[in-house]
Chain A
Amino acid sequence: MMTTRLPNRLPRHLLLVVALAAAVPAGASNRLIAAGGRVSIARTPLTVTPASEWNRLGARPGRNAEVWTLDGDTLNALTFYAAIGEGKTLFRQADRREHPLPPVNRTMLLTDIPTLLENSYRSALGVATMTIDHVEPTPFAGAGGVHFSYSFVRPEEAIHVRGEGFGTLRDGKLYLITYEAPALYYFERSAAAARQVAESARLD
C-alpha cells in the first residue's frame, strides 16, 4: 500500500488492548466479583452492588478505572471511571503526542459527559463512525445524572458495538459507568445485568 504522506499512527486495537500493553502491574490478575456484596471501585468512594457474578480484569484502562466482564472484554465490558478530576483523561493515553485525549473540566455540564466519551474514543480508537444516540436525565449514585446510548464500529473489524453510559459530576469530578458489547446478540444478553450494577451505584 502506498500513501500520499507519512501516515499518522492510528491506534488500531481496542482501548483495553492498548491499556494492557501500556501497563499491567506485576501480579495483577483477574478476580471474580461475587454477587450481592458491596464493592468499591478503584479505591474511590464509588461503590456498586452487583446482583450477579462478574469478572474484574486485572488490566485497568486508567488509574481510576476498572473493567468487569462476563465473557471477555471484547464481548461485554462494564467499565467504571471513578473520581476523574480536573485536567485528567478518562483513560490512560496511549499516544499523548499524536492523539491526546480530552481532559475533564470542572465547569463541565452533564451534557458534556457523552461528548467527552465520544471524543476520547475518536482520539484513542481512530473511529470516525461513533454516534451518541440518546441522552436523558437519570438518577445516578444518589444524585442527578445522565444516561446515554451510543454506537460505534471497531476499526479493522467492522463490528458494530452498542454502548450505554451512566454518569454524573460530583465536586468537579466525573463518575461514569459504561457498558458496551457487540450489537449482535451480546449487547441485549447482558444489558439487564449491567444496568442493575449501574443503578446500584452509590457515592459515600
Chain B
Amino acid sequence: MCRLIVPLLAAALCAAPVQAARETLPLPPFTTAYQPTTVDERGLWMEADEDERRMRDAPEVIRDPALNAYAREVLCRTVGPARCAAIRLYIVRIPMFNATTYANGMMTLWSGALLRLHSEAELAAMFGHEFSHFELRHTLTGFQRRRSGSDLLAWAGLLGAGGIALPTMVVGGFYRFSRAQEAAADMLGFRYLTAAGYVVTAPADLWTRVMAEQDATEIGRYRKPNQRYVAGFFDTHPTELTRATYLRAAAAQIGGGGVDEAARFRAAIAPWLPRLLGDQIKRNDFGGSEYLLNQLAVDGWTTPLLFARGELYRERGNPRDLSAAAGFYREAIAHGDAPAEAYRGLGLALLRSGQVEAGKAALRDYLARRADAGDAAMIATLIAG
C-alpha cells in the first residue's frame, strides 16, 4: 500500500500548487492597488513588506535621484508603464552581479550589476527577467511547492514509506522546479526585451561575459576555471552556459534589429563609475577585476579605468605589479583629468618599488592638489622620512 501512496502523493505534489494559483488568483499582481488574496499570498506579501520597510531606510541603498530615475525609465520602457507602476526599485550598493524580486513588487538591483552591464539593453534584460518572477508569482508557487514537498515527506515518514528515494526525489524536484522558474522568467523577460525594441542578443551576451569573468576570477586565484554544462542537484538556477545557450537560440529565431543604447547607459552610470570601480577593486579579486576593466576599456582606456587599474595592481603589490601600477597612474595623469589620488598611488607605488625620490615627488604633487586630504599628515611623514 505504501508503494501506492508514494506515487499518488507525488502526483498531487506536482499538480496542486499550479492549480491552486490559477483557481484563486484571477488578477495579475501588477494590477493597480492589488491586494493579495489567498492566505499564502498574504503571508508572503506581509514578509516582503517587512523586508521592504528595512530596505527603504537601509544605508546601503543608493539614493542618487538621477541614477534612480534612469533605472526606473529603463524598467518602464521594458515592461510598459502600467506594469512598472507596481514595482518599487532599490539600487543597492553591493559590488556583485545580481538583482532580486520580492513577492510584493519590491525589486533590488545590485551596484555590481551596473559595472558589468554594457548597455541599456542588458539592463532591460535583467529587469525583464526580474519582473517576470513578479508577474508569474514565482515566490508564491515556489513556496507552495516547498510546503507540498515537506507535507509529503511528513506523511511518508508517518506511514514509514519512501526510504531514501522519496526525500531525494522531493528535494531534487524542488530545485528542478526552481530552475524551471528561472528558465520561464528568462523567456518571458526575453519577450519583454523584444517588445521594447532592444537588441535581442543582450541577455546571451551578458551571460557569456559573466562566465568569462568567473573563469578569470578562478585563474587569478590559481585555480582551474569550473564552468559546468549541467546544473547540480542543489542549484536553484540553470547554469550560465545553459542560459546563454537557450537565450542565444531564442535571439537567433527573432533575427537582428533592436537598439542597445550603450552610449546612453554609459552616460547614465558615468558619475558612479569611479565608486563602482573602487568597490570592485577592494574585493580582492584580481583576475575578475582585471577582466572587467579590460571589458570596460574596449573603446579605450579612460582616466577612471586607468586609475582603477593602478589601484588594483598596487594593492596586489608584487614587484612587477608595482611597476605596472606606476605606468597606469602615469597614463591616467597624462590624460590631464586624473584625480589627485592618482599622484598618491603613483608615489606609493614608486616608494614600494624603491624609487624613493620619484615617489616623494609624486606624493608632493598629491599634497599640492589635496592639502586637506584625510591622510595628508601621514603622507607628509612619508615625504619627510
Contact = CB atoms under 8 A, between A and B. Distances in A.
A7 B98 contact: yes
Given A3-B99, A136-B378, A144-B381, 8 more contacts: A2-B101, A2-B133, A3-B98, A101-B284, A108-B352, A111-B378, A119-B282, A128-B279
Given A2-B181, A111-B382, A118-B282, A135 B99 contact: no
B348 A111 contact: yes
Interface string A87-116: 000000000000111100101111110010
B331 interface: no
Contacts of A16: none
A42 interface: no
Given A2-B101, A107-B317, A109-B351, A158 B57 contact: yes
A51 interface: no
A109 B282 CA distance: 17
Contacts of A102: 284, 315
Interface residues of B, number: 54
Interface in B137-191: 138-139, 142, 181-182, 185
Interface of A: 1-8, 10, 99-102, 105, 107-112, 115, 118-119, 122-123, 126, 128-129, 132-137, 144, 146, 148, 153, 155, 158, 160
Interface string B80-115: 000000000000011111111110000000010100
Contacts of A158: 54, 57-59
B98 A115 contact: no
A4 B283 contact: no
Nearest to A2: B133
A144 B181 CA distance: 59
B382 A129 contact: no
B73 interface: no
Nearest to B206: A4
B236 interface: yes
A87 to B, nearest CB: 12
Nearest to A123: B284
